[in-house]
Amino acid sequence: MSVLDAPAGSGPRTGTADSRTALIPVFARLKLALLRNGLRQSSGRRAAYIASVVGALLIAAGQLLGLILLRGNAHADSVVVLLTAVVALGWAVMPLFFSAGDETLDPTRLVMLPLRPRPLIVALLVSSLIGLGPLFTLCLAAGSVVALAHGAGAVVFAVLAVPLTLLVCVALARAVAAANTRLLTSRKGRDLAVLSGLVIAVGIQVVNFGAQRLGQAGGLSSLDPAADVLRWVPPASAVGSVGSAAQGAYGRAVVQLLLAVAALVALLWLWQRTLTKLMTSPDGSTTAAAGPGRDKAGRTGAGLWALLPEGRTGTVMQRSLRYVARDPKTKAAWVTALAVGLIVPLINALQGQGSVYFACFASGMLGIQMYNQFGQDTSAFWMVAQTISSPRDAYLELRARALALLLITLPYTVLVAVVTAALLGDWPVLPGVVGLSFALLGAMLATGATASVLFPYSVPQEGAFKNVAPGQAGLAWISILGGMVTAAVLSAPVIALTITLHVTGRTDWLWLLVPVGAAYGVLTAWGGVRLAAPRMAARLPEIISAVSKG
C-alpha cells in the first residue's frame, strides 16, 4: 500500500540519476494540489482567488496589448526595459513580504526527504513556474519582445529572451526566499514583514510624486537615462538584447543576453548554496542563546540615556524611545509619520504652489503618535498600571510620554519648516510657521493624552495593515478625528493671530508667533495632561481590558 509495507531494503533509498526526471512532475503536481486544496478551504478564498486571477489576467492582457501597440514608438526600448526591471524588482521583493503563500517554497519542509540539491533545485524551479505571477511575467516578456523585435535576427533573440527573463525572475524570487527563509521563520523577519506596510505607504507617495514629475517634464524621453543603465542589468538586459539586435548591434545583443544567462546561473548557484546550508544546519529558532559576552555593555544609565532625568520621567521616556526603535508597529507608525510629514509639504513646495504653512502638517502627523499611547503598550500596560496608584503617578507617566515624543518631534517640526521655507524661498513666514506648529503640537499632545485615557483601543501585533482590533475601529476613529478637531479648536487663538498678522500685512511681526506659539503649546499640553491624569488613575482596569483585546 505504501512504502511502509514494502520489505526493508526493497525500494530505492537514495536519489539516483533518474530521480531528477521523476521529481519534476511530483513537484508540479504538489504545487497544483496545494493550490487546489487552498481554494477548497473556503468559498471566500476561492472568490478572492478567482477575482485576483481575472484581475491579473485583465492587467496582463492590457499590458500585452499596450506593449504591442508600443511597437515602433521611439521610446519603446526604454519603456520595455524599465518595465522588465520593475517586474524583476517585484519578484525580488515579493518573498520578503509574502512568505506564507507558497508551501513548496519552504525548503525546511523537505528536510526529511532524501533529496539531492541539484535535482531539487530544478524541480522547484519548474514548479514555481506554475501560477499567476509567472503567467503575468510571461505576458509582459512576450509583449516586450513583440514591441521591440524588428527583423529576423531580433526575433531569434526574442525567442531566447522571453524564457530567460521569466527564469531569471523566478530564480531571483527563489534565491531571495531561500536566503530569507531563516529570517522569515524568526522574530526579526516577522518584524520586517510588519514594516512592509510602511515601505508600501511611503513607496506610493514617492511613485505618485515621480509620476507627477514625469507628467510635467517632457514625458517618456525622461526615462531614457535610467533605461540606458538598466538595459545592462539582467533580466532587463535580455529584453534589451532584442532591442540591440533590432538595431543591428548584434555584438551588444549577445553580450546582453549572456549577461542574463550568467545572472541565471549565478542565481541558481546561490540558491543551491543557501538551500544546502538551510537543510543541513540547525534551525535558527532552536539554537541556544549563546549571547555575546557583553556583561557590562548596555547597562542602563549608560551613554546618552544618562542625560534623561531620574525617576519615572526618565524611565518612561527611555522605554518609549526604545519602543520607537524596536517595536515594529510603533516604528512603522513613527517612520510613516516622519516621512509623510516631510513629503507632503515638500511636494507642495516643489510644485511651486505650496505655502510654508504646509509644514504644520508635520506637527499634526507627529502629534497623532500621542494618541492611543496605552494601546501601543499592548496588554503589557498592566506593568504600568501596577505602579500607578495616584493621579500624580498618572501625571508623571503621561508627561514623560509627551516629553519622549517632543524629543523627536520638536526638532523635526523645525527642520521641516526650515526645509520648506528654503525650497519656497519664503523666509519671512518661517517664524510664523514654527510658532503655529508649536501651538498645534501642544494641542495634539493635550488631546492625545486625553484620548489615550478615554478611548484606548488594542493594536494587533500581527500583520502590517491592521492597526485596530476588530470591533474597536469606531473607537479609534472617534479618538483620532475628534481629537484632531479639538486640537484645531484649541489652537484657534494662535491660528487667529497668524491670520490677523497676515491679513493686516504686519508680516514683520510674525517672529512674535514663536514665543507665543511655544508658550501656548506648552500651556495646552500641560493642561491636557493635567486633565487626563486623574481620569487615567481612575480608569486603569478599563484601560487594561481595552488594550488587551488584540
Q: Which is nearer to other proteins, 102 or 397 (CB)?
A: 397
Rounded CA separation 395/398 (Å): 5
Joined grid coordinates for residue 323: 519602543
Rounded CA separation 6/71 (Å): 61
Which residue from 10, 41, 300, 504 is in contact with other proteins, where contact means CB under 8 A? 300
**3-state secondary structure labels for all residues of 54-65:** HHHHHHHHHHHH
Give me the residue label for grid cell 549565478: 266
**Three-state secondary structure call for residue 304:** helix
Rounded CA separation 535/453 (Å): 7
Identity at 92, one-letter amino acid code? A
Position 299 contacts other proteins (CB under 8 A): yes
Task: List the interface residues with other proteins, window 326-345 (CB under 8 A).
Answer: 326-327
Least distance CB 547 / other proteins (angstroms)? 10
Number of residues that bind other proteins (CB under 8 A): 42
Closest CA to 400 of 452, 350, 464, 468: 452
Position 301 contacts other proteins (CB under 8 A): yes
Joined grid coordinates for residue 17: 540519476
Position 548 contacts other proteins (CB under 8 A): yes
Q: What is the greatest pairwise CA distance in the chain?
A: 99
Closest CA to 168 of 227, 83, 236: 236
Q: Which is nearer to other proteins, 111 or 383 (CB)?
A: 383
* Stretch of 138-146, 168-176, 295-303, 421-429 contacting other proteins, by CB under 8 A: 295-303
Identity at 22, one-letter amino acid code? A
Least distance CB 326 / other proteins (angstroms)? 4
Position 385 contacts other proteins (CB under 8 A): yes
Q: Which is nearer to other proteins, 417 or 529 (CB)?
A: 529
Which residue from 510, 544, 546, 549 is in contact with other proteins, where contact means CB under 8 A? 544
Position 319 contacts other proteins (CB under 8 A): yes
Position 372 contacts other proteins (CB under 8 A): no
Position 49 contacts other proteins (CB under 8 A): no
Position 428 contacts other proteins (CB under 8 A): no
Identity at 420, one-letter amino acid code? T
Least distance CB 466 / other proteins (angstroms)? 17
Q: Which is nearer to other proteins, 186 or 486 (CB)?
A: 186
Task: List the interface residues with other proteins, window 235-254 (CB under 8 A).
Answer: none
Which residue from 63, 378, 479, 491 is in contact with other proteins, where contact means CB under 8 A? 378
Give me the residue label for grid cell 532587463: 236
Q: Which is nearer to other proteins, 276 or 318 (CB)?
A: 318
Position 542 contacts other proteins (CB under 8 A): yes
Rounded CA separation 347/216 (Å): 13
Q: Which is nearer to other proteins, 5 or 295 (CB)?
A: 295
Could you please report the per-residue DSSP string of 9-42?
T-S--S--TTHHHHHHHHHHHHHHHHHHHHHHH-
Element (DSSP H or E) covering residue 159: helix 152-184
Neighbour tally for 233: CB within 10 Å: 17
Q: Which is nearer to other proteins, 180 or 548 (CB)?
A: 548
Spatial CB neighbours of 241, under 8 Å, sequence gap ≥ 6: 157, 161, 252, 253, 254, 255, 256, 257, 260
Task: List the interface residues with other proteins, window 146-205 (CB under 8 A).
Answer: 187
Which residue from 74, 112, 152, 289 is in contact with other proteins, where contact means CB under 8 A? 289
Q: Which is nearer to other proteins, 106 or 393 (CB)?
A: 393
Q: Which is nearer to other proteins, 300 or 504 (CB)?
A: 300
**Three-state secondary structure call for residue 307:** helix
Least distance CB 319 / other proteins (angstroms)? 5
Least distance CB 285 / other proteins (angstroms)? 9
End-to-end C-alpha distance for the chain, whole angstroms? 47
Position 380 contacts other proteins (CB under 8 A): yes
Given the rule CB under 8 A, which residues bind other proteins? 187, 289-292, 294, 297-301, 310-312, 314-316, 318-319, 322-323, 326-327, 377-380, 382-390, 540-542, 544-545, 548
